[in-house]
Amino acid sequence: MSQFRQLNATDTIFIASENVSTYNHTAGLMVLDPGDTKPLSFVKFRKRMAERVKLVPQFFWKMHEVPVGLDLPYWVEDEAFSIDRHIRRIALPEPGNRAALGELAGLLYSRHLDRRHPLWEMWYIEGLADGRVAVMMIFHHCLMDGQSAIRLLDLLSDAKPNARARKAGIQPPDIQAGRAPSPYELSLRTTLHLLRSSGKMTESIATILLPKLLEGVSWRRAERNAAPPFVPHPLLNADIGNARGFVFGSLPMADILRIKQHFAVTFNDVVLALVGGALRQYLSARDALPKHPLRAGMAISLRAEGDEDMSNKVTNAHVTLATDEADPVRRLQAIHAASMQAKTAARGDAKGAMEFVQSLPPLFLTAIIGSVNAEQSANLIGAHLAVSTMRNDGAPRYLAGAKIESTFPMSVIAAGIALNVTCISSGDTLDIGLTVNLDSLDQPWALVKHLKEELLLLKKLARNSKRSA
């Protein structure tokens, strides 16, 4: 066993920023076809997953937190690990439809994971109206980002329905948790960390924060003539309650790719245009469409090609959704132009921002995040909602022998960000999950309906218009 293993600065943010109404875990709701000849059962599912989780060492680690948050937490082995604490079953109440499944997913999500144990769980959900079953996998964001989650699903699932419980030729990553420091070691290491942090904070303020603030002042002066200022929206940038709503749907990948090719834009551009159009419809129906365009905070991967490490390696960019533009094609083109610039700027700024965060102990992060209200948080983030997309290879996958028909992702909302739209490609479909604050966004299934309508509209326009150069 290695001497010590601490969370890094990025992972610690997801721990330090949790509070009574903020849950920093993510989830995937998978709908499975149990099959006819050898139907899936909970006993079979539990047995298979108990074998497969051995390929993920992090699933056996728990956090050892430093008192008062003066230093980064430690990862240690859970000596009392029990698979039954993490893999559970529940039945969906009648009528067992998609609305009921979404409501149950929201309820299962709306609770903190127990930090005394590894920060993940799986729920085997029975009682779907069509005879299918669902599996909801929940894991804390401090463990991994979205691309790591796709790698995780590859380890837990198979390319064939009759695969063996133990994956041949695949070994767990050669990583281990550390041991818990003794009281003396903890005091010494924490003191040294605080001394290093004070120096890093001073250096970061001088070399990163102040230049960014001065740059921001100059940029905002120029921005007044170039783009509308950010204005929080009362529904999207509201304070959040304890309950989460979850709605979901699927869109044909072929239609999205056809639109992408016809208008010479990116896959993400099409997704953002669909979200922008859906929000335009949703807010217009509530007489709440702002004159200024809404902005999305978009996750940008910082991974090098071939990087399969399970950790967080992302930054964020702000992209207009052009909701002030009524024409869908002009909206798509505006998003395309803005997103290219945003991605380049985000990757260039990521290192400096991370260096500043690394200088802050968890105690300071918690205090800073807890001291701002929803409007202040929205202004700091500079976005009205979060949008992210993930893509896998599109090949069929099987979980404990049952085909995964859909995977609907569920992600984080927090004070000032009341809507999170996360998408993942699953073969022939793009599966979309929308996590919403029920206190400010009513009838969220309307957003799913509007997404489908926007896709049909862009598909029709692509068919009837000349191809972009």
Residues marked active site are found at 141
Q: How far apart are CA 78 and CA 446, in angstroms?
A: 43
Residue with tokens 């002030």: 324
Nearest 5 degrees, angle CA 199-CA 316-CA 357? Answer: 15
Q: How far apart are CA 112 and CA 25, in angstroms?
A: 8
Q: How far apart are CA 460 and CA 207, in angstroms?
A: 51
Q: At what angle do helices 328-358 and 183-204 cross, to 10 degrees?
A: 120
DSSP structure string for 78-89:
-TT--GGGTEEE
Compute CA distances 96 → 106, 363, 405, 426, 443, whole Å.
15, 44, 17, 23, 19
Q: Is 427 left (phi over 0), alpha (psi -120 to 50) or beta?
A: left
Q: Both tokens of residue 45?
A: 């599912």
Q: How far apart are CA 435 and CA 430, in angstroms?
A: 16
Q: Any residues with CB less than 8 A from the CB of 173 and at least 6 apart, and which?
A: 57, 310
Order the strands of the 419-426 sheet from edge to edge: 244-252, 429-437, 419-426, 385-390, 295-301, 314-320
Residue 288 near residue 234 (C-beta atoms within 8 A): yes
